[in-house]
Amino acid sequence: MSFKQKLEKIVKKNNSLLCVGLDTDLEKIPQYLKNYENPIFSFNKQIVDSTHNLVCAYKPQIAYYSALGIKGMRSLLKTIEYVKTKHPEIPIILDAKRADIASTSEQYAKEVFDVFMADAVTVNPYFGLDALIPFLQRKDKGIFVIGRTTNRSANDFQDLMLNGKPLYMHVAEKVVRWNKTYNNCLMVVAATWDNELKKIRKIAPDMFFLVPGIGTQGGDLNKVLKNGLRKDKSGLILNISRAIIYSASNKEFGKSARQKAQEYKDLINKYR
């Protein structure tokens, strides 16, 4: 089963466009977990156990794990193994933003898909197609190409005009063309730029977009859904991290995370 098929299936099963971001910061998890042998995994396990029937994906951000060295990377691997064992229908998107010269990208693709066993990965398009081919050749995987990011300085480069169009639109058009060949391209389009989301949806009417920026970062959910949904009221993976996973800092954090995830899922479906 391809990533896209797996994604479509879980969206329908859980009736959800919600993705929970596992941006697990050791400094922010409940204090009592820090006495555990593997506090990061213990935290992630409770989040997954509490939310698995409310989501369409989980998205760990690799920096939160690599910053802890080998121990953190083991926690990441154990988290992914746990989801794949207990909830194999839920896809894992590894937010790694990888790309480099072709030979290095080959190694990155092995890292993401063979070592960490992710179902999908985020990649940086600015090296060009040859840097992405090692990822795109993994036909059963999902390749999320960065289109428009959430950060305030995104317009430093992404809005630069080139032949009458901003650079991010040139990237989006390339992704649409690449997808005709590889059929496993998706895009990252930030919730904080809903007008840009609308423009990209026009040229990619059938594509799934990973949309960060709802919740703590302040993206307008109603506008995102209005401008980004496909005609079938699907096509978005709405990632929410901190607002869900850090909604409580005591032993009830799993219960609180479920409550927040339910609220976001219901709100998304209300506007859909």
CATH number of the domain to which 140 belongs: 3.20.20.70
**Token pair of 151, please?**
């950060």
Q: DSSP characters for 238-267?
A: EEE-HHHHTS--STTHHHHHHHHHHHHHHH
What is the domain range of residue 258? 3-271
Q: Residue 2: CB partners within 8 Å, gap ≥ 6?
A: 139, 140, 141, 142, 184
**Token pair of 89, please?**
């229908």
Q: Would you give per-residue pLDDT tens digits along the chain (272 residues)?
A: 999 999 999 999 999 999 999 999 999 999 999 999 999 999 999 999 999 999 999 999 999 999 999 999 999 999 999 999 999 999 999 999 999 999 999 999 999 999 999 999 999 999 999 999 999 999 999 999 999 888 888 888 888 898 999 999 999 999 999 999 999 999 999 988 788 899 999 999 999 999 998 866 667 899 999 999 999 999 999 999 999 999 999 999 999 999 999 999 999 999 88
Strand ranges (DSSP E) for 61-157?
A: 93-98, 120-123, 142-148
R_g over Cα of the chain: 18
For residues 156 and 166, give the distance between their C-alpha atoms in angstroms, rounded to a whole number: 11
The catalytic residue positions are 97
- Alpha-carbon distances, residue 124 vs 31, 101, 145, 175, 226 (angstroms): 36, 12, 6, 11, 27
With the CA atoms of 32, 36, 39 and 42 taken in that order, what torsion angle do they form, in degrees rounded to the nearest 10? -90
**Token pair of 6, please?**
């797996």
> Are 121 and 98 a contacting pair, CB within 8 Å?
yes
Beta-carbon neighbour count of residue 150 at 10 Å? 19
What kind and span of H or E run contains 200?
A: helix 194-203
Give residue 218's pLDDT.
Answer: 67
**Token pair of 166, please?**
């901003």
Give residue 195's pLDDT.
Answer: 85
Give residue 122's pLDDT.
Answer: 98
Amino acid at 248: A
Number of domains, the chain = 1
Give residue 216's pLDDT.
Answer: 65
Global pTM reads 0.96
